[in-house]
Amino acid sequence: MRVTALDATLPPAGLPGLDPTLSRLVEVPGAAADAGHARTWHVLDSGSALSAGGIEPVGTIVAVHGNPTWSYLWRALVAASLARAEAGRTPWRVVAVDQLEMGFSDRTSLRRTLAQRIADLDAVVGALDITGPVVTIGHDWGGPVSLGWAVENRDRLAAVIALNTAVHHPDGAPLPFALRVATARGMLAAGTTGTTAFLDTTLALADLDPAVRAAFRAPYATVARRRGIGGFVADIPATAADESTPALRRLSAGLREVTVPALLLRGPKDPVFGEGHLDDLTERLPHADVHRFEGAGHLIAEERPYAEVVLDWLDEKGVATDAAASGAEPAAGVEPGTAAEPAPGADPAPDAQPAASTAAAPDTAPTGRLWDALDARRDDDDTAVIDMSTSRDGAPLRVSWRQLATRVDELAAGLAAFGVRAGDRVSLLVPPGPTLTAALYACLRIGAVVVVADRGLGIRGLSRAVRGAVPDVVIGEVAGLAAARALGWPGRRISAASLPAVSGRALGVEASLSDLARAGRGRSLPDAPAPDADAAVLFTSGSTGPAKGVVYTHAQLTALRDTLAAHFGVTADTGLVTGFAPFALLGPALGTRSATPDMDVSAPRTLTAAAVAAAVRASDARIVFLSPAAVANVVATASALDSADRAALERVETFLSTGAPVSIELLCQAQALMPNATAHTPYGMTECLLVADVTLPEIEQAAGDRGVCVGRPLGTGQVRISAIDDEGRATGDPTTATGVTGEIVISAPHLKRGYFRLYLTDREARRGLADRWHRTGDVGHLDADGRLWVEGRLPHVITTADGPVTPVGIEQDAETVPDVVRAAAVGVGPVGRQVVVVVVEAGARRPGLASPELTAAVRTSTEQTVAAVLVAPTLPTDIRHNSKIDRSRLAAWAEHLLAGEKPTAP
């Protein structure tokens, strides 16, 4: 006899965001071990609303919640899909189920295993007469249930989507700490069923509105109604002996056969499902689009606008159309091939953009391998790399081409013997120098993907980057390995230097680079990677948000080498001094000797003029690469140079500063130290390290325009401008027209392949563009001579009532005022009605309003109306370059200060 109190029921009225007309109960025949018993399910189903509007769906999205949530989790997806359908956009039916024992569905006496739940889902899909293409979406333990159904119903499947889930647990590996606590003897029943502890803990993983939190708690008010929570936890397959382990293994193996479009969305701040789980899913679904929402956690559906992402992705992939074309049965009334079309007369998607009228992207065919020059000089005893921070007998450490090539071969073979395979990610936590150079080229040679994130990101940023890249191997110095151990970074450990046995064990080190080199001697190397294989993940500076991993292929790195060599005339005799981390490893690729000055490369301001001169003298270099912050300190410490130092610097022929804008005054001061060098300021970014270039004489000749002149595109690279509208959005078709202010759009053979597991970032970067083009996020314009001028960042455009205003020109004006060292122009107020506020660094000891005299001088310096002038002791800058002003932080600070809050340092 069924217990009435545990029967399925409709949710109470008034739950925020839940349309009660879409909530219904469905009688479903029991499946598998539950056969012969009719079960009542509660579902959210948009089908009736679509029918009432005369709208035929193109297919059905079946949404499966995890533990301890219920179908309420998917309310945003249900609402968004209906709104879009009513607007004439692709109409999807959404069915979000309450799994049996959960939500407002029946409670039964049956123990529900993973296999049973997959069978249950199949039964409800059949009972609901879902006949068209099916997209599954699951979260938490709803992920294995939905993916298990997908594996068993591939003939009906149109796409799979998963949010923070897992489908594999390695034998012998412990469960995540939160689940170990929940499943511990004596805790399971008490924490999941007897009390609301498990439910409370889960809901505390997101900052939920109290009414939303109450809605999630609504189905679980009594011990009897919480039995399913405990049952779900008890069924977690943690060991090979657990009852659901065979089912989990079947579905995880079957995922490799799933070829339909796949989307994986993840909140990284999840104590249960870690980066390793995502890595496993991407290995099983290598074609999947992946996006990590930085800052989000386990309840990602409550923290990010996932519903619009999902529906946009389905449109972008043409899922409904593809499913119809492949023979999957469409929903009633839908003609194959027309599913993704909007209704007649309907507006297109709000974010849709026409394809950019850009020229064809440059050819990306490589001219060889990145290590060709190293191979060509392997019998050469001339110097290849000089490490100024390491000395032997008082002289800097020198490594010959022969030594370097031999070491690279040995390490490459040793890494292969260690188990590193093509495609494995190797995080390099080693400062620039011969050791890092050898390790990097060894990894590239065997097809391993090097992950480079420097200490300039700070410990939090570095940890976020490394964990997010999920390295298979970490190679590091003691400090890096200690951080990896303390912060729980993934990957096997290799020490850069040989360590005492006790230290090695404490750090989890399995081998040193010397051990690998010995193991690799005499071994043959595996086949070289293909040109289009991934080669590196280079992390951005984090100056405009969390650092992003930028993926380069071997062909793109080779194209970078070729562009650099051709533009700057690098030969075997040129010699490089590289105080700028991104270029510190290119010497061997260019076939010329390179020297790293005695400095902390992750802290550019540690570089002194004497250190540059010493490196130039040791390497007889003709080219010097420095970052803007390094240039500033070199100029500031020039008084320490002696006659030998100055003589060495006089031999430099080319001086480059890249990474952030450099003032003409600072360039002139630097060139005075290298009087025979031509000063260049290449423009680029992690996504495309060399975009354009300009010399100091060209900058002086071009003076008078607004912004920073960065010159013309390098090599076969191309630049376009996408005009900005009154709200500061880049909506114009990319153009080469003179004087159009907008977002800078670029293409080059050495442009990155994409971002690492940042699908949305990739999508925005190519929005409305042809293949192999990229939106930089910078704003600027082209002049009549085809030169590019940078005027700031897109997020920093000030949207006044008179139209958009870019910050750099105003800042340049303000910096002509005596005593103003640096200035930042920011917008305060609502979009479209912002006012311009200028914050200056002018010797003030305390932050606040500028004096009337300074305010008047700044206002007089510029044609732009300035609402207020503020002073700060120092302007905040990014971590890596120490030179890019953090305008977003200043804008928030200025708004608080002008609102009357107590002034504090920005």
Token pair 């423009």: residue: 683
pLDDT for position 171: 67
Q: Could you tell me if 219 and 104 are in contact, meaning their C-beta atoms sit under 8 angstroms apart?
A: yes
- Of 766, 794, 822, the position where a domain reaches its end is 794
Q: Is residue 388 domain-shared with residue 431, that is, in the same domain?
A: yes
Residues 385 and 588: their CA atoms lie apart, in Å, by 8
Q: Is residue 275 domain-shared with residue 245, that is, in the same domain?
A: yes
pLDDT for position 659: 75
Please count the other Cβ atoms lying within 10 Å of the Cβ belonging to residue 240.
11
- Specify the pairing of strand 534-539 against strand 549-553: antiparallel
Residues 617 and 874: their CA atoms lie apart, in Å, by 35
Give Cα 538 distance to the centre of its chain.
10
Q: Identify the three-state secondary structure at position 62.
A: strand
Q: Compute CA distances 248 → 70, 171, 174, 229, 416, whole Å.
A: 22, 12, 16, 19, 31
Q: Compute CA distances 481 → 387, 450, 509, 714, whole Å.
A: 22, 16, 8, 39
Q: Could you tell me if 496 and 512 are in contact, meaning their C-beta atoms sit under 8 angstroms apart?
A: yes
Q: Which amino acid, 288?
A: A
Residues 688 and 753: their CA atoms lie apart, in Å, by 10
- Of 556, 583, 605, the position where a domain reaches its end is 556
- Of 733, 761, 794, the position where a domain reaches its end is 794
Q: Is residue 804 domain-shared with residue 751, that is, in the same domain?
A: no
Closest by Cα among 123, 45, 55 to 86: 55
Give Cα 130 distance to the centre of its chain.
37
Token pair 């290449």: residue: 682
In which domain, by residue range, is 316 found?
A: 38-325
What CATH number should be reported for the domain holding residue 696?
Answer: 2.30.38.10
Q: Could you tell me if 413 and 520 are in contact, meaning their C-beta atoms sit under 8 angstroms apart?
A: yes
pLDDT for position 812: 93
Asked if residue 735 is part of any domain, the answer here is: yes
Q: Is residue 441 domain-shared with residue 303, that is, in the same domain?
A: no
pLDDT for position 360: 64
Q: Is residue 502 domain-shared with residue 397, that is, in the same domain?
A: yes
Residues 649 and 657: their CA atoms lie apart, in Å, by 15
Give Cα 655 distance to the centre of its chain.
32
Beta strands in 547-621 (DSSP E): 549-553, 576-579, 594-596
pLDDT below 70 — which residues of the chain?
1-5, 171-190, 322-367, 391-393, 456, 542-544, 581-582, 601-602, 878-883
Burial bucket for residue 644 (CB in 10 Å: 0-12, 13-18, 19+): exposed
pLDDT for position 326: 59
Asked if residue 537 is part of any domain, the answer here is: yes
Q: Which two tokens stand for residue 505?
A: 């064990």
Residues 211 and 229: their CA atoms lie apart, in Å, by 21
Asked if residue 337 is part of any domain, the answer here is: no
Asked if residue 84 is part of any domain, the answer here is: yes
Residues 3 and 5: their CA atoms lie apart, in Å, by 6
What are 131-169's pLDDT values in tens digits?
889 999 999 999 999 999 999 999 999 999 999 999 997
Residue 552 forms beta bridges with which residues? 536
Domain count, the chain: 4
Please count the other Cβ atoms lying within 10 Å of the Cβ belonging to residue 502.
8
pTM: 0.89
DSSP letter string over 248-268?
A: HHHHHHHGGG--S-EEEEE-S
- Spell out the residues 6+ positions from residue 565 whose beta carbon is closer than 8 angstroms to its own: 590
What CATH number should be reported for the domain holding residue 472?
Answer: 3.40.50.980
Burial bucket for residue 843 (CB in 10 Å: 0-12, 13-18, 19+): exposed
Residues 166 and 181: their CA atoms lie apart, in Å, by 18
- Spell out the residues 6+ positions from residue 37 whose beta carbon is closer than 8 angstroms to its own: 30, 108
Q: Is residue 224 domain-shared with residue 188, that is, in the same domain?
A: yes
Q: Is residue 803 domain-shared with residue 788, that is, in the same domain?
A: no
Asked if residue 670 is part of any domain, the answer here is: no
Asked if residue 1 is part of any domain, the answer here is: no
Asked if residue 341 is part of any domain, the answer here is: no
pLDDT for position 358: 56
pLDDT for position 354: 38
Q: Is residue 310 domain-shared with residue 386, that is, in the same domain?
A: no
Q: Is residue 493 domain-shared with residue 519, that is, in the same domain?
A: yes
Q: Which two tokens stand for residue 879?
A: 């971590």
Q: Identify the three-state secondary structure at position 451.
A: strand
Burial bucket for residue 289 (CB in 10 Å: 0-12, 13-18, 19+): buried
Q: What Rg do the C-alpha atoms of the chain give, in angstroms?
A: 30
pLDDT for position 352: 39
Give the strands of the sheet with 678-680, arranged side by side.
395-400, 383-392, 594-596, 576-579, 623-626, 654-657, 678-680
Q: Is residue 249 domain-shared with residue 261, that is, in the same domain?
A: yes
Dihedral angle over CA of 399, 402, 405, 410, nearest 10? -90
Beta strands in 407-466 (DSSP E): 425-429, 449-452
What CATH number should be reported for the domain holding residue 851?
Answer: 3.30.300.30
Q: Is residue 312 domain-shared with residue 284, that is, in the same domain?
A: yes
Q: Is residue 239 domain-shared with residue 93, that is, in the same domain?
A: yes
What CATH number should be reported for the domain holding residue 115?
Answer: 3.40.50.1820
Enter the DSSP assignment of 154.
G
Q: Which two tokens stand for residue 161?
A: 């989507």
Burial bucket for residue 269 (CB in 10 Å: 0-12, 13-18, 19+): middle
Asked if residue 114 is part of any domain, the answer here is: yes
